[in-house]
Structure formats: structure tokens, C-alpha cells
Amino acid sequence: MTEVKTVATMAIDGQKPGTSGLRKKTRVFMQPNYLENFIQSIFNAVAEQGVDFKESLLVVGGDGRYYNRTAIQTIVKMAVANGFAKVMVGRGGIVSTPAMSAVIRRRGAVGGIVLSASHNPGGIDADFGVKYNITNGGPAPEAVTEQIFKQTQQIKEYLTIDYPNIDLDKEASFRVGDTEVIVFDPVLDYVAVMQSLFDFAALRRLFDSGFRMVFDAMHAVTGPYAKEIFENRLGAAVGTVLNAIPLEDFGGGHPDPNQVYAADLVARMSGSDAPDFGAASDGDGDRNLILGRDFFVTPGDSLALIAAYAKDAIPGYADGLAGIARSMPTSSAADLVAHSLGVPLYETPTGWKFFGNLMDAGLCTICGEESFGTGSNHIREKDGIWAVLCWLSILAKTGESVSGIVHKHWEKFGRNYFQRHDFEGLEVELANKMVNLLREKLPSLSGRSFAESRVKEADDFNYADPVDGSVSSKQGIRIILEDGSRVVIRLSGTGTEGATLRLYLESYKQDGGTADIDSVLGSLAKETLALLELKQHCGVEVPTVIT
Ligand code: G16
């Protein structure tokens, strides 16, 4: 039964990983050989780096969405056939992205396969995805995803075994051929990492004092982790965690923790009777949404605040920060904190994979993105529950409300007014043409009047990794104005249908943060749409989502 079978296959077009792994419609992944080709290509790319599978541990798990269990059975058989010494599989097939990173690092795995399309909806007619994480626990960097893509273009066969499906629901360790297969509970590894960073006793006292919180797990992967940490370990009231059971279709919802898709949570956090603190995480547990009573904390401000308070409020960072990193479109609020702490600030392209080298080299401790991702060097992924624990620590330390903390910060540092406008479902060719035309206009923009100011600089962001020197070009168009305001324009790399245009608008004011955000950013948005000629090219002018 464990005899290795070599199955002939043919290259399949379009298996190029995007911002975060390969994301496609679920039915695309369900086509014959589609998943198998991609998995074998990952194995081939890893083998090409000289890894000996006979000495290696592979971790496998996903966010529990439709097709997760089937895909895991396929991957386990292929891993056995490819000769891995050990394969660890999350119980129920479920491992959050941050827990995957923690497990790879703690257990010394060669890497891990995460089945997730993150915040995209799940179901047979929705989205599925596969990401490969490397030995440092982080998403495969571009050099590796390029290798995987190359393998997908030349694949001719894959390896598997004929074997009954393993029982995913019972923790156990058993042999399949020469491979040890372990079904384990990843929640314990993850909790251990959180306990090493945060003062659980202090957070327990916060809840003992009557502090009320609500956490929306959005029927996605964080439910079991959040129940264990917030309710069981920290003593938050039973029922603090909403939608705690992971479902294959996330209860029909869109597991993207922002004010639009977490509208129920936003409603619960409104009014004088609302809990003190509200938070949510996404499909695979790496994103976070932070809310106070009638108050939304932008991801850029959240990053800045966590960095500002980390040393004093969180034992894991008591030695201070080596540096802070943010993706280029993320607001510059963290830059001001880095400056005041006297530590470097790194600006990277969109995609968590770009933070890995900085953290491995000890250059940065805390990093974040406008797309609701925040994290630190405790693992190599962004981490939703970690961000919530950071906020709880700040709240416990200061004894203030969420909005009080943010207002104080704005008074001290000024406010980076920031919004992202998404235009979803555009025709790919038209969107590409529009962005290319804008690219051609960039050299002529300098000095031109724009949104009550003038264009100081307009370029396409290029990143040279300070650690390995690798260069990533065309990472987003920037229009920087003389008054310090800025617009970034880029196409999303995580969608599975059509194109999504993202406009990131930012304007800095030292006004205590009290101005109306739509008035501050309105003219920037209007002029950018006119410059892009969005209506003429793509037939739309109203954003689908504003965050
Ligand atoms: C992924 C990446 C993030 C990125 C986000 C948005 O998040 O890991 O680094 O910021 O996509 O990317 P884009 O703007 O290209 O759609 P996740 O949570 O989907 O894995």
C-alpha cells in the first residue's frame, strides 16, 4: 500500500504564486492534477535546494475552508511518497497561518504547507489557496516562489501512494511506510509562544477587573485559539469569542476583518453599553481588526502604537526594538515612532514575505501593513491574536480607553489620515492598460498642481532588499506631494477573479487628529481618479470597499 506510484502529468498554465501563495477558485484546484502538480512543484523546488527529505519534517494544515480536508489527504500521501521523515498535520486539518509559522520554528521543520485563501470567502464556488512557508517559518520569498513556478512549467510526473485516508480528528502518531505521521494540536504550540511574550497574569487581572471584550473569529481558523487564550487562560467571560467554530464556508461570510465585512462586530461596538474592546481576525488568523467603543483604529496607527508601547507594556519586548518595518502603502505613522525611538524604519513592498529577511538579520522587531496585518519577530507571519494581546497589554498598562490612547498618540505625534479605496471586479486587461498608461505619465507629473498642493515626486516603487540585495520592481505607483500627502496606486496580487485596483490615500496633519477624514482625503481621491481616468477605462468611479 505504501509503494510509491509515479503518476504522469502535464504542466498546467497559471500556477504562478501571487502576493501570498497560489490563490484560485476552489473548482480550479479541484481539477485533475491541479493540486498535485503544484504540491510536487513545491517539493521539487525544495529538493533542488539540496534538502534531504529523509531528514526532514513537513507541517501541513489549513484554515478549514471547503476542500481543506481533501487536499490534506492528497498532500500527506504525496509527502510520504516523496520520502519525508515526518509529517505533522493539524488536528481537523486546521492550523492558523501564525501557528504554522510558530510550529515550523519550534519543531525545526524544513517548511510547511498552508491551505488557505486567507480573507477570501470559502466554498466550492469561492476561493482556495496554497502557500509554502520556509524553514524560518515565513512565506517563501520571491526567489523560492519563482523556483516553484518554474517547476510547475516543466512538471511531468508526481509521486503518491495508494493508501486509505488518515483520521484527521484524533491526535495520534503512526507510520505510513517510512514516514512518521503525527496528528497534533497546534493550539498548544501557539499558546506557548504567546505566553513567552505577554504577561498573562496582568491580562487576567484586567479581565478580573470587569473589562469587557468581544472577539469575532468570523467562523474561521482563530476560534479554537481565541477560546483557549481569551476565555480559558485570561478569564474573559464565556461568549467573548463570537463565531468560534471554523466552518467550511465561514458561515457564508467574507472572513476579512474590516469595518465592511465585520459589520456585526462594528455594530456591537457602538453605543455607551458596548464592550471596552473589540477585535476580529481573518480566514487564516493572520490579520486583525482593532476597535474601541465607537472607534476604529487604522492598521497604520495600530502598528505605530504597538511599536510605541511595546517596550513598556509587553515583557517580550522589554529590551526595546531593533527596528520597525512597514509595507510601502502603509501610512507613515510608524516612521514617526521609529524616529522618536531612534531606531531604523524599513519600507518594503506589499507582502509579508519581504519582512522575513529583515527579521532574520535582526534588523527589525515589529512590522505591519495597511491590509490589517501586524506582527513581530516572534514568528515570520503576521499574527491576528498577537496584535489583540498587544492591545490588551497596552490597555492594561495605561488603564485608558482605546480612543483615549489613540487621541493621546495623535496629540504627541500628529495624525496620518489614511484610507484605502478598493475597486473590485475590474476587467484585468483594462485595469492593466490603465495602470500602464499612468506609469508612462509619471515623468511628466513633477511640479504639476494636485489636490491643493503640487507633485514633488512620482515613481514606481522599487525595493532592494538590504540583506540579500534582491530587487523587486514595479511595486506600486507613488505620487508624493509637496505638502507631504501621498497617493499609492497598485493592483492587488491576491484576488481570484478580475482585477482589484487599490488607491491608498494619506495626508499628515498636526491637528490633534480631530478633522473629518473624508474632507482631508477627498480631493486626493478625486484627483487620482481623474488622473487614472478610471471611469473612462474601467467604467466605474465608486469604490467597492473603503477601509
Ligand atoms: C496578503 C499578504 C499581505 C498583503 C495582502 C494584500 O495578505 O500576505 O502581505 O498585504 O495580501 O495584498 P494585495 O494588496 O496584493 O491583495 P493575506 O492576509 O491575504 O495573506
> Does 494 sit in the ligand 1 pocket, CB within 6 Å?
yes
What is the per-residue DSSP string for 236-282? PPTT-EES-S--TTGGGS----STTTTHHHHHHT-STTS-SEEEEE-
**Ligand 1 neighbour 211 (Cβ under 6 A):** no
Is residue 19 over pLDDT 90? no
Q: Which residues are catalytic?
A: 118
- Mind giving me the DSSP string for 10-52? ---TT---BTTBEEEEHHHHTSTTHHHHHHHHHHHHHHHTT--
Cα 494 to ligand 1 centroid, rounded to whole Å: 6
> By percentage, how much of the chain surpasses pLDDT 70?
100
What band does 263 get if pLDDT is binned at 50, 70 and 90? very high
Q: How are beta strands 453-460 and 477-481 bridged, if at all?
A: antiparallel
Residue 369 Cβ inside 6 Å of ligand 1? The answer reads: yes
Best mutation site among 16, 131, 352 for ligand 1 pocket (most ligand atoms within 8 Å of CB): 352
Neighbouring C-beta atoms of residue 119, cutoff 10 Å: 25
452 has a pLDDT exceeding 90: no
The band of 458, judged by pLDDT with boundaries at 50, 70 and 90, is: very high
Instruction: Give 20's pLDDT tier (boundaries 50, 70, 90).
Output: confident
Q: Rounded to an integer, what distance in angstroms lies between the CA atom of residue 145 and that of residue 17?
A: 6
The per-residue pLDDT for 97 is 96
Does position 234 have pLDDT exceeding 80, yes or no?
A: yes
Q: CA-CA distance, 38 to 96, in Å (whole number)? A: 21
Q: Is the pLDDT of residue 23 over 90?
A: yes
Show the DSSP H helices in 318-453 as ranges.
Answer: 333-341, 356-360, 384-398, 402-413, 428-441
* Each residue's pLDDT tens digit, 410-421: 999 999 999 999
Q: Three cell numbers at 179?
A: 514516514
Tell me the domains of the chain and their CATH numbers. 4-184 (3.40.120.10), 190-413 (3.40.120.10), 415-546 (3.30.310.50)
The confidence score (pLDDT) of residue 438 equals: 94
Q: How far is the CA of 236 from the centre of ligand 1 (A)?
A: 31
Ligand 1 atom 19: the closest Cα is on which residue? 118
Q: Is the pLDDT of residue 363 over 80?
A: yes
For 525, other C-beta atoms within 10 Å of its C-beta total 18
The ligand 1 atom at the shortest distance from the C-alpha of residue 352 is: 9
User: Contact 270/237 with Cβ under 8 angstroms?
Assistant: no
Classify residue 55 by its DSSP letter.
G
Ligand 1 centroid – CA 495 distance (Å): 9
pLDDT computed for residue 494 by the predictor? 80
Distance CA 138, CA 132 (A): 9
Q: Is a pLDDT exceeding 80 seen at residue 495?
A: no
Residue owning the nearest CA to atom 17 of ligand 1: 118
Average pLDDT, the chain: 95
Three-point CA angle 378, 350, 421, nearest 5°: 120
